[in-house]
Amino acid sequence: MPEYHGDTLLVEKCIIKFKELKTAGINAMNGSFGSVRKMEIDGTPYFVKEVYANELQYERMKTMMVNEYRVNKILTSRIPEYVSRFIAGKLDNTGTTMEMYLIFEAPNGYNLKEYLDLLTANQLERIYNRLYCSIKAAQLEINSLNIVHRDIKPENIYVIVGPDGKEFKKCKLIDLGLAMKAGEKVNPAGTGRYMPPTMRLLNNYRRIHNFKAFKEHNEYSLEQIWKNDFQKDDEPVPNCEALNERAGPPLPPMNSNNNNNSKGGSRKTKRFKKPKRKTRRLE
């Protein structure tokens, strides 16, 4: 039997509308494993995600789909202010293929890439720190639930704006298809430009379950957004604790493992040397 989350009638209405838009080629936002379309049902806007049918034959995709479905339910119930709110969905894995539709809120906004293109350089200069710290807050909240995103990039960051369509409110992390929970053993994954070099070397060769390594992966992604997308290569990342003007809800406290040093890098932990083994000399 298919597994439904939320209002079953809403799910079926969204699926019918999605297929109509897909046939007409309207409102498509295509990704590596699926497509997203924005629609309005009974006067309310939604984002609806469908996974491509030709990818559903692979066991790896089945695992990812089930994982995304469950992770979205957990995060929406615990920290809806930091992730795209999961309204309803359908997961059917009873046959040889799978069918999955995820329905999310669609607040007024843009993904980060679109938002950076929308504003002038002067407008962006005033809010770069707030943008960064809002993204950082969402990342830390997800980590606090022993979950890591693993694919933080501008296309997976949703910027909520005011009624004028430009005023920055806060950021949310979206597209949790690669998210993992602590203890899971998975292949390194993500978007090459935002993956640490060590992760790129390991990709498709070694399955790892080092939760700390994936958290550091997210830190690297944020640094790349700051340096490249925000074009701040010559400036350290902001100290979010010291930022007085914050976007959205209060930022969570930064613990010692997540603080940045004065040069903008991540803190180094002290490494303990192993004691040397004493050897006996032969007479």
Distance, in Å, from the CA atom of 103 to the CA atom of 36, rounded to the nearest integer, reads 10
Reported as type and span, the H/E element at residue 93 is: none
* Helix, coil or strand: residue 277: coil
Three-state SS string across 161-196, please? ECCCCCCEEEEEECCCCCCEECCCCECCCCCHHHCC
Q: Is 259 helix (H, G, I), strand (E, B) or coil?
A: coil
Per DSSP bridges, beta strands 99-105 and 147-148 are unpaired
Answer for the pair 101, 52: CB distance below 8 angstroms, yes or no: no
9: left (phi over 0), alpha (psi -120 to 50) or beta: alpha
pLDDT exceeds cutoff 60 at 113? yes
Distance CA 162, CA 42 (A): 23
pLDDT on residue 59:
67
Alpha-carbon Rg for the chain, nearest whole angstrom, is 21
When comparing pLDDT for 25 and 31, which is higher? Answer: 25
pTM strictly above 0.75: yes
In this predicted structure, what is the pLDDT of residue 60?
67
Q: Confirm if 180 and 150 have CB atoms less than 8 A apart.
A: yes
Is the model's pLDDT at 247 over the cut of 80? no
Provide the pairing of β-strand 168-173 with 180-181.
Answer: unpaired
> Between 163 and 67, whose confidence is greater?
163
Decide: 171 and 113 in contact? Cβ < 8 Å.
no
Greatest mean pLDDT among 73-77, 211-215, 260-264: 73-77
Helix, strand, coil in percent for the chain, rounding step 5: 35, 20, 45
The most distant pair of C-alpha atoms in the chain lies apart, rounded to whole Å, by: 91
Cα–Cα dist 107/158, whole Å: 9
Q: Which domains does the chain have, with CATH numbers?
A: 3-105 (3.30.200.20), 110-242 (1.10.510.10)
* Residue-wise pLDDT tens digits, 154-204: 999 999 999 999 999 999 999 988 888 887 777 777 888 898 887 776 655
CB atoms inside a 10 Å sphere around CB 182: 15
Distance (Å, whole) CA 184 – CA 209: 6
The length of the chain, given as a count of residues: 283
The answer on pLDDT for 54 being more than 70 is no
H/E segment holding residue 131: helix 128-144
Residue recorded with tokens 């609806």? 48
